A and B are shown apart, each in its own frame.
Chain A
Amino acid sequence: MATINIAQPKPMVMADLKGKVDPDWCPGCGDFGVLAAVQKALVELQIPNHQVATVSGIGCSSNFPGFINTYGMHTLHGRSLPVASGLKLANHELTVLVTGGDGDGFGIGCGHFVHAMRRNINLTYMVLDNQIYGLTTGQTSPTSRIGMKTKSNPYGNCDTPVNPLTLALSSGATFVGRGFSGDQKHLTELIKQAIQHNGFSFLDIFSPCVTYNKDNTFQWFRPRVKKLEDNAEYDSTNWIVAMEKATVWGDEIPIGKFYETNDIPTLEETEPVLEAGPMISRDLYIPADVAKKFVEELM
């Protein structure tokens, strides 16, 4: 079974990436900006949309695959990374993007998040982080700040928020970055780099919820976010520096590429079974001489 990949005759434009329906996110939702940045990144990189798979979990931001014209998968809450990993390992010629929210990725899916990064599969995981559960109408999320009042914690959240960046760095992600939906140009560049990175890239993207999160709004983020790229001395190849920078939070919140290493091979590169090409291109039957040996072992 061979996939026939024929290059599209015309260069891909934004319209080619428009989904079958328009997003049903609330007007002003941060997710619109992320969607546009992803589409723009794919156009600029000219990765044909049929070679892209967009996999999501469940939540507002997980409706993402339906709004972009690629091979989309809308899966279970918290399970986007295992599905995407299986998909990528079975056809590693695809560019696989994974989207979801902070509840999906750092709450119910946190176990998969940590283990996916350990494996360094060439995936681009973008968490549209709004520090709240939106689709379930406003409950505390793993990134909600201490003291934040929500429907599930009317007297204020008392759980320490997850720091997605330090978690990613300590779990072995080979590309770690943070973006802001309110800065399109910067976000597009960051997504392009993440897609081009050969290995697991993780992007925590501030994508404010305009309906349920009155704390972490566009207005709140805008004066705080500071681009790492503006500091010429910042060394994104230094893991210790990245860890330190990832803990900075307050009046200044750094965004940009925190860390990238190309020293660690991907799972696809180290897995001998893939030396013969993608799994989907294999013969269904295993060679007769190999099968014969399997039986002889038992005799």
Chain B
Amino acid sequence: MSHTFALGIGGAAGQGVATPGDIFALILSRRGLHVNAYNAYQSIIRGGHTFLTIRTGVDKVENLGDGIDLLLPLNQDTMDRHLRLLKAGGACIYNADTIKPGAAADGVQLCALPVSTLADISRNKVAQNTLALGAALSMMGVGFQSLESVLKAQFGKKGEAVVNENAGIARAGYEYATANFKPFAKPLPMTEKRYAVLSGNAALAMGGAAAGVKFYAAYPMSPSTGVLHWMAAHGRKAGIMVRQVEDEIGVVNYTIGAAHAGVRSMCATSGGGFALMSEGLGLSAMAEIPIVVIDCQRAGPSTGVPTKTEQGDLWQMLGAAFGDYPRVIAAPLDIGDCFTLMPEIFNVTDKFQCPGIVLCDLLLSEGRLSVDPELLNFNPPIDRGEMITSNGDAHDEYLRYKITESGVSPRAIPGIPGFTHTVSSDEHDENGVLISDEYTNAGKRRAMMEKRMRKVQGIEAMVPPPVLEGPPDADVTLIGWGSTDGTIREARALLAEQGITANQLQVRWLVPLHGDEIVRILGKAKHTIIVENNFSGQFARYLRSETSFVPNGNIRKYDGEPFMPHHIAEAVREQLAGETTLSVPTHEVMV
């Protein structure tokens, strides 16, 4: 990992952490720098403690890293919790009127801002934030003009007076810092690149829009609500029908109804809402109506920790709805992948007329990442599979569930003359007639079950297996899935600095798993460790159930916070030293 710079802004909810966060992110991305941001918060609208970390660098910043260089505490609580995280070379800018600095490590610069003398705090309640913003940018070596233009964009709607007032306060902070504080050793670089900064939820919504989604239904649930917010704000322009309905049972069934009409249709929720959708997944599978459901995992069980991350829903996805049916489950590897995965999974679910699940998590959903705008491709390949959308020539009796070698039966959408049929939740014959009542027939039941399950082979052929990244003869192979991708990669870099080579097998498509290929890859590994954000090793248990493979060790974390690279690197070292086979890193940053 090349040089990065991380800043942390903390305060009570409602104190205005988000605005300086957005401003920093915009300045950094306009400077041609990559950004990765994550807001640790609680389920509270006012009060509590929120801590926003923004990490930036010239190269892609794949995770939040291990520490911060600059701390902006908006209250005493933040100072007390986070000052000790700063190392030599770091700095803390704080309001000298209201906050007392604590004991800092040697070489940490404590920058006291005389807020009430620099700004009229009776007029502007967030003056301390704006002053700190200006001071920080001065110390980071960013020209004031960048801040001014972003302030214009941020406050422009409120009128020139508001822009000027904020710019004036920011300038006072900027100039005070230039005169009184020592700038950081390395000024922030600048490149000619321009990035788009977005949350995983926005990426999922935009990816859906790019995939051709025309119907989106939702019930609000953290941390998935951002998908609804993007859809609601952009649906009219994008030509997407967006509906908030009564509950998640309604959501999944609206989604299925719209999909049956012939449009691409999706919904998003979190674990609790998904539980309510389970029966609907079965309907999608049985009636062979393709839908995509996004599950943004949060710490469970039950309502759990609504604002904290976890990878704890895997088995819920694997077991969602009763009975056997073909399904597709994929976990995006980062926020950019939240976008690119959507058209891919829709092409699979459309082709095989089955439900697809995108297994995201709070870390990605609510995190922010800079991506190359080229990656946000609104013209991806779209394959709707075998659909009958016009009546065409004369044909034999239409069989909606015709038994075919692939298991896929051409799907006529309602409205076409000559193709009337019934799709059914009960088991049915090829023509859609129920065989559940007086017509029960073991032979037909078996044939239909086998027809549907034959799709599994086709799905496997369409979806690529995971690929080993890094030196093939590494000392240790780290296995992860979904959102841990970037953190594991940086942990490998940390290990390399310490003389331990590591490679990585990151799983994106969970179903189909390609177990044979995974076992072939892992068979050559010297030491295997599965890394995941849950208590019981859900992926480890899944891999074992599918392949009998058991790794040498596991690294698990289930405290609600994501892994930091050093957590993984330290755990690998202790496991290679033979101290344990199960590491549960402690999250040192109290948020």
Interface-located stretch among A71-79, A146-154, A180-188, A207-215? A71-79
- The residues of B that contact A55 with a CB separation of less than 8 Å are 257
Bitwise interface map of B from 423 to 449 toward A, beta carbon under 8 Å scored 1, else 0: 111100001111001110000000000
**B417 lies within 8 A of A50 (CB):** yes
Instruction: State in angstroms the CA–CA spacing of A76 and B259 once bound together.
Output: 16
A residues 235-291 in Cβ contact with B at 8 Å: 271-274, 276, 279-280, 282-286, 288, 290-291
A4 CB contact (under 8 Å) in B212, B241, B242, B391: B391
- The residues of A that contact B263 with a CB separation of less than 8 Å are 90, 279-280, 282
**4 more CB-based (< 8 A) A-B contacts, given A3-B389, A294-B378:** A53-B414, A83-B257, A86-B265, A280-B263
User: Smallest CB-CB separation from A4: which chain B residue?
Assistant: B390
- The residues of B that contact A21 with a CB separation of less than 8 Å are 433, 439
**A273 lies within 8 A of B236 (CB):** yes
Given contacts A273-B239, A285-B379, are A86 and B257 in contact (CB under 8 A)?
yes
* Residue B527 is within 8 A (CB to CB) of chain A in the complex: no
- The residues of B that contact A124 with a CB separation of less than 8 Å are none
* Residue B520 is within 8 A (CB to CB) of chain A in the complex: no
* Residue A36 is within 8 A (CB to CB) of chain B in the complex: no
User: Smallest CB-CB separation from B264: which chain A residue?
Assistant: A284
**B255 lies within 8 A of A3 (CB):** no
Which among A20, A283, A294 has the highest number of chain B CB atoms within 10 Å? Answer: A294
* Residue A49 is within 8 A (CB to CB) of chain B in the complex: yes
* Residue B280 is within 8 A (CB to CB) of chain A in the complex: yes
**A66 lies within 8 A of B434 (CB):** yes
Can you name 9 A-B pairs with beta carbons within 8 Å? A50-B415, A50-B417, A50-B418, A83-B260, A86-B217, A86-B265, A290-B238, A294-B234, A294-B238
**B238 lies within 8 A of A6 (CB):** no
**A90 lies within 8 A of B423 (CB):** no
- The residues of B that contact A290 with a CB separation of less than 8 Å are 237-238
In the complex, number of A-B residue pairs with CB atoms less than 8 Å apart:
235
- The residues of B that contact A66 with a CB separation of less than 8 Å are 422, 424, 432-434
- The residues of A that contact B488 with a CB separation of less than 8 Å are none
- The residues of A that contact B234 with a CB separation of less than 8 Å are 294
* Residue A232 is within 8 A (CB to CB) of chain B in the complex: no
Instruction: State in angstroms the CA–CA spacing of A273 and B242 once bound together.
Output: 9
**A72 lies within 8 A of B422 (CB):** yes
Instruction: State in angstroms the CA–CA spacing of A3 and B388 once bound together.
Output: 9
Instruction: State in angstroms the CA–CA spacing of A29 and B241 once bound together.
Output: 40
Instruction: State in angstroms the CA–CA spacing of A81 and B253 once bound together.
Output: 8
* Residue A225 is within 8 A (CB to CB) of chain B in the complex: no
- The residues of B that contact A272 with a CB separation of less than 8 Å are 236
**B243 lies within 8 A of A89 (CB):** yes
**A294 lies within 8 A of B206 (CB):** yes
Instruction: State in angstroms the CA–CA spacing of A76 and B206 once bound together.
Output: 30
Top-10 shortest CB links A-B: A86-B257, A72-B422, A90-B261, A291-B378, A82-B253, A86-B254, A71-B414, A284-B212, A298-B196, A90-B258
User: Smallest CB-CB separation from B282: which chain A residue?
Assistant: A76
* Residue B352 is within 8 A (CB to CB) of chain A in the complex: no
* Residue B342 is within 8 A (CB to CB) of chain A in the complex: no
**A279 lies within 8 A of B246 (CB):** no
* Residue A159 is within 8 A (CB to CB) of chain B in the complex: no
Instruction: State in angstroms the CA–CA spacing of A24 and B418 once bound together.
Output: 25
Given contacts A50-B420, A298-B196, are A85 and B254 in contact (CB under 8 A)?
yes
- The residues of A that contact B424 with a CB separation of less than 8 Å are 66, 72-74
Instruction: State in angstroms the CA–CA spacing of A50 and B420 once bound together.
Output: 6
Instruction: State in angstroms the CA–CA spacing of A145 and B422 once bound together.
Output: 34
* Residue A137 is within 8 A (CB to CB) of chain B in the complex: no
* Residue A94 is within 8 A (CB to CB) of chain B in the complex: yes
**B438 lies within 8 A of A86 (CB):** no
User: Smallest CB-CB separation from B235: which chain A residue?
Assistant: A273
Instruction: State in angstroms the CA–CA spacing of A4 and B391 once bound together.
Output: 7
Given contacts A272-B236, A273-B236, are A74 and B414 in contact (CB under 8 A)?
no
How many chain B residues touch A (CB < 8 A): the figure is 79
* Residue B287 is within 8 A (CB to CB) of chain A in the complex: yes
* Residue B197 is within 8 A (CB to CB) of chain A in the complex: yes
* Residue A69 is within 8 A (CB to CB) of chain B in the complex: yes
**B241 lies within 8 A of A90 (CB):** yes
A113–chain B nearest beta-carbon distance, Å? 10
B298–chain A nearest beta-carbon distance, Å? 24
A residues 63-114 in Cβ contact with B at 8 Å: 63, 65-66, 69-76, 79, 82-91, 93-94, 111-112, 114
Given contacts A82-B254, A87-B258, are A286 and B239 in contact (CB under 8 A)?
yes
Given contacts A63-B437, A279-B263, are A79 and B253 in contact (CB under 8 A)?
yes
* Residue B279 is within 8 A (CB to CB) of chain A in the complex: yes
* Residue B373 is within 8 A (CB to CB) of chain A in the complex: yes
- The residues of A that contact B215 with a CB separation of less than 8 Å are 86, 89-90, 279
**A72 lies within 8 A of B196 (CB):** no
- The residues of B that contact A5 with a CB separation of less than 8 Å are 415, 417
**B279 lies within 8 A of A76 (CB):** yes
* Residue B228 is within 8 A (CB to CB) of chain A in the complex: no
* Residue A136 is within 8 A (CB to CB) of chain B in the complex: no
- The residues of A that contact B422 with a CB separation of less than 8 Å are 19-20, 65-66, 71-74
Which among B235, B236, B261, B439 has the highest number of chain A CB atoms within 10 Å? Answer: B261
* Residue B120 is within 8 A (CB to CB) of chain A in the complex: no
* Residue A295 is within 8 A (CB to CB) of chain B in the complex: yes
User: Smallest CB-CB separation from B202: which chain A residue?
Assistant: A298
* Residue B18 is within 8 A (CB to CB) of chain A in the complex: no
- The residues of A that contact B438 with a CB separation of less than 8 Å are 24
User: Smallest CB-CB separation from B199: which chain A residue?
Assistant: A298
B residues 370-384 in Cβ contact with A at 8 Å: 373, 376, 378-379, 382, 384
**A295 lies within 8 A of B373 (CB):** yes
**A298 lies within 8 A of B197 (CB):** yes
**A75 lies within 8 A of B425 (CB):** yes
**A63 lies within 8 A of B379 (CB):** no
- The residues of A that contact B437 with a CB separation of less than 8 Å are 24, 63
- The residues of B that contact A20 with a CB separation of less than 8 Å are 422, 431-433
Instruction: State in angstroms the CA–CA spacing of A84 and B433 once bound together.
Output: 20
B residues 246-282 in Cβ contact with A at 8 Å: 246-247, 249-251, 253-265, 279-280
